[in-house]
């Protein structure tokens, strides 16, 4: 291959002096998407990408594998239940209600709302009786949720739109006449550039103007705070939590709504200024159940009295190897039990415990070694629980557990029938640079012989775990003869909160070292070679592969870098970046600036280095991670590389960081796999 003719990108002599360190930023002009020069550059990059990609492969097969559709865990409200499902030919999942007699009706269909496919359903919350449904939608990938309320029986809209409700929980009071929710202050009431922040908790009475909403909480607290709010099933207890951005800690308050007005609840602190995460659940038996990682980085469940909520005692103690993820209570039994969800080295399991003593009395049978999501029970009590299940070859299913019989049965499967290719999945352990053992999932053809083109994927941040799951793009790649590996790096949540903290702030280099070591392990064990090895990551995973390609360019043949953070000196100034300085650090602090600058990919591009073939995929409406990161890094690499592998940019409009239609998902996956196949020899 020969070096392609890259679009011209001027280099400005911009150098900031930050804490005494000169920091060059030659492509700052690319930060303005409205600049005609930037628009022209993006159009030229798109033309180059289409010219260089060549015939698109994988698209038909990815589309076939996505025809499995999907199904969601049910939410029970009395005799009704609510759930989501996507059939093989649908672009988006539809939210349904099932009546007591079994009649099923669609309540929210994004394609009926907007046939262009650009509208997404962001969140739903039925009221406690199942008569009203709060739902949130956004358009074009912005995730700027507008909140509506629907009458479930008639489908009529009774409320909305209420704007500025991005990431808003909805906590209904009994009777459906009012709810607590979270809303940002109007842009006119906050400093310029801060309209994405400044959230508050409000009480809203259905049928009244939002001008009459009562502010309950948040005044005078940090602008980057996120708030959680919930109300117990009986309506007595209000719970409010506050996280500073994405920090792995929260403050927590409760109020007795029978002892103070709902529009002026008297909040009592349960936890303030403590470096841990805690959530509460008010049991039907009068006890308060506490899920916390305080003094237990893998999590534990404690019990307390609501009248003394800070005085806990262990019910289900921390497991030395498994992370406690969630729990459900089944109390319509002679011996009430608690089901506890765990992930043991990223593989899910559910144990059964005596509700009174916490004694482990059994386990819930699960379909295989995979991922369990969302254990749900009937809010008013019962003997059944429902949970989602998936693994690398199983599309999402819903399983039902009956505590009276101890049996798990299939309750609902994804509606489409697909022929899944035979693959072999294993979990291997390798050693990182500092001697730490790290795990990695390897999905490969059952008859692999010798090194194969391989994609290594990772994330390593925010305590998010990389667990097994059905993926059309992974299966299409492996079916074509490739190997797909997923490294469970520090910074994630696979081994609990200590594992997360070992890869955040000043420890971030551990994440990159774990990733390089994963690559070296795949090569050393004969799975692949460096000329056949591609790396892939999105969002914080985009930062990961950006750091990897600048730190070890010789180790990788190709890179797919999606919606990445790459300018770690200025990331706080754009999108939701200010909420992430609790994860990465802030350039305003001299010590933290040094952490960030030491690995910031954009600032470590060196002229004359043969960088791997690299594809940046970004989304013009991304309001979390601004596409400017990839634009600047793309220009820098195109200028600097001495290699013949192309540096390309795929810049997609009218989509954002999160949910998208199936057809757009297929196109992105096919383009990415086509690029990686071309440059790894698949």
- Which member of 70, 241, 471, 539 is catalytic? 539
Q: Counting Cβ atoms within 10 Å, is residue 597 exposed (0-12), middle (13-18) or buried (19+)?
A: middle
User: Residue 349's CB: how many other CB atoms inside 10 A?
Assistant: 16
Asked if 490 and 517 count as a contact pair (C-beta separation under 8 A), the reply is no
Alpha-carbon separation of residue 494 from 347, 459, 461, 466, 497 (angstroms): 9, 11, 11, 7, 9
Q: Counting Cβ atoms within 10 Å, is residue 481 exposed (0-12), middle (13-18) or buried (19+)?
A: middle
SS (H, E, C) 332-373: CCCCCEEEEEEEECCEEEEEEEECCCCCEEEECCCCCCCEEE
* Helix/strand number for the chain, H first, E second: 11, 39
CA-based nearest residue to 342, from 315, 367, 371, 365: 371
Structure tokens at 585: 């650090």
Asked if 18 and 593 count as a contact pair (C-beta separation under 8 A), the reply is yes
Round to whole Å and give the CA distance between 362 and 372. Answer: 17
Residue 29: partners with Cβ closer than 8 Å, 6 or more residues away:
10, 12, 35, 37, 38
Active site residue 657: yes
Residue 402: partners with Cβ closer than 8 Å, 6 or more residues away:
383, 384, 409
Which residues are 394's β-sheet partners?
391
CA-based nearest residue to 523, from 561, 485, 572: 485
Residue 273: partners with Cβ closer than 8 Å, 6 or more residues away:
251
Whole-angstrom Cα Rg for the chain? 25
- Which member of 92, 204, 657, 679 is catalytic? 657
The SS3 of residue 330 is strand
The DSSP code for 273 is S
Q: Please calculate the CA angle 160-166-171 and round it to the nearest 5 degrees.
A: 70
Active site residue 232: no
Round to whole Å and give the CA distance between 186 and 29. Answer: 29
Q: Give the chain's length.
A: 682
Q: Please calculate the CA angle 583-275-542 and round it to the nearest 5 degrees.
A: 15
CA-based nearest residue to 617, from 504, 449, 445, 473: 473
For residue 672, what is the enclosing H or E element?
Answer: helix 662-680
The residue behind tokens 């609840």 is 265
Round to whole Å and give the CA distance between 229 and 215. Answer: 13
626: region left, alpha or beta (phi > 0 left; psi from -120 to 50 alpha): beta
193: region left, alpha or beta (phi > 0 left; psi from -120 to 50 alpha): left
Which residues are 488's β-sheet partners?
439
Q: Which residues are catalytic?
A: 539, 657
């Amino acid at each position: 291959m020969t070096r392609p003719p890259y679009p011209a990108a001027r280099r400005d002599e911009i150098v900031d002096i930050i804490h005494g360190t000169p920091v060059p930023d030659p492509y700052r002009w690319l930060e303005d998407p409205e600049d005609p020069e930037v628009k022209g550059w993006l159009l030229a990059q798109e033309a180059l990408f289409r010219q260089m990609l060549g015939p698109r492969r994988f698209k038909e097969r990815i589309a076939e594998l996505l025809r499995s559709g999907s199904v969601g865990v049910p939410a029970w409200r009395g005799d009704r239940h609510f759930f989501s499902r996507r059939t093989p030919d649908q672009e988006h999942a539809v939210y349904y209600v099932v009546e007591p007699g079994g009649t099923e009706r669609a309540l929210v269909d994004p394609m009926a709302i907007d046939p262009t496919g650009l509208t997404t359903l962001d969140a739903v919350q039925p009221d406690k009786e199942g008569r009203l449904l709060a739902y949130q939608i956004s358009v074009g990938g912005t995730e700027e949720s507008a909140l509506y309320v629907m009458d479930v029986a008639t489908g009529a809209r009774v409320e909305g739109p209420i704007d500025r409700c991005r990431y808003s929980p909805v906590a209904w009071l009994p009777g459906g006449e009012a709810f607590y929710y979270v809303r940002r202050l109007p842009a006119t009431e906050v400093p310029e550039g801060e309209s994405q922040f400044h959230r508050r908790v409000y009480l809203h009475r259905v049928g009244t103007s939002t001008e009459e909403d009562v502010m309950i909480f948040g005044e005078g607290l940090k602008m980057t705070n996120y708030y959680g709010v919930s109300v117990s099933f009986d309506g007595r207890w209000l719970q409010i939590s506050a996280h500073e951005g994405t920090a792995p800690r929260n403050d927590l308050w409760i109020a007795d709504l029978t002892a103070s007005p709902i529009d002026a609840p008297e909040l009592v602190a349960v936890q303030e200024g403590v470096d841990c995460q805690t959530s509460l659940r008010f049991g039907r038996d009068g006890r308060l159940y506490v899920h916390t990682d305080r003094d237990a980085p893998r999590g534990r469940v404690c019990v307390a009295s609501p009248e003394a909520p800070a005085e806990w005692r262990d019910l289900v103690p921390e497991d030395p190897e498994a992370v406690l993820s969630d729990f459900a209570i089944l109390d319509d039994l002679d011996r009430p039990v608690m089901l506890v969800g765990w992930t043991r080295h990223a593989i899910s399991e559910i144990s059964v415990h005596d509700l009174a003593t916490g004694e482990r009395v059994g386990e819930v049978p699960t379909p295989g070694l995979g991922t369990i999501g969302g254990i749900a029970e009937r809010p008013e009590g019962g003997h059944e629980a429902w949970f989602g299940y998936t693994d690398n070859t199983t599309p999402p299913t819903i399983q039902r557990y009956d505590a009276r019989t101890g049996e798990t049965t299939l309750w609902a499967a994804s509606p489409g029938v697909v022929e899944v290719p035979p693959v072999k999945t294993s979990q291997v352990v390798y050693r990182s640079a500092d001697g730490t053992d790290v795990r990695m999932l390897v999905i490969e053809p059952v008859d692999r012989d010798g090194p194969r083109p391989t994609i290594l994927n990772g994330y390593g941040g925010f305590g998010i775990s990389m667990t097994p799951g059905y993926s059309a793009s992974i299966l299409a790649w492996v079916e074509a003869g490739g190997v797909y590996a997923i490294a469970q790096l520090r910074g994630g949540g696979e081994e609990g909160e200590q594992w997360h903290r070992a890869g955040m702030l000043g420890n971030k280099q551990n994440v990159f070292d774990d990733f390089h070591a994963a690559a070296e392990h795949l090569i050393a064990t004969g799975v692949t070679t460096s000329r056949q090895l591609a790396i892939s990551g999105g969002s914080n995973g985009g930062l990961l592969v950006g750091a990897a390609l600048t730190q070890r360019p010789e180790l990788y043949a190709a890179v797919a870098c999606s919606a990445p953070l790459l300018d770690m000196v200025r990331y706080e100034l754009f999108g939701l970046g200010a909420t992430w300085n609790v994860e990465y650090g802030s350039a305003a602090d001299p010590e933290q600036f040094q952490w960030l600058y030491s690995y910031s990919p954009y600032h470590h591009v060196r002229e004359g280095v043969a960088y791997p073939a690299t594809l940046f995929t970004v989304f013009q409406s991304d309001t979390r991670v601004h596409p400017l990161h990839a634009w600047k890094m793309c220009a820098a690499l195109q200028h600097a590389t001495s290699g013949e592998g192309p540096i390309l940019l795929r810049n997609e409009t009218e989509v954002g960081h999160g949910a998208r239609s199936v057809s757009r998902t297929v196109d992105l996956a096919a383009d990415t796999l086509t690029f990686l196949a071309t440059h790894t020899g698949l």
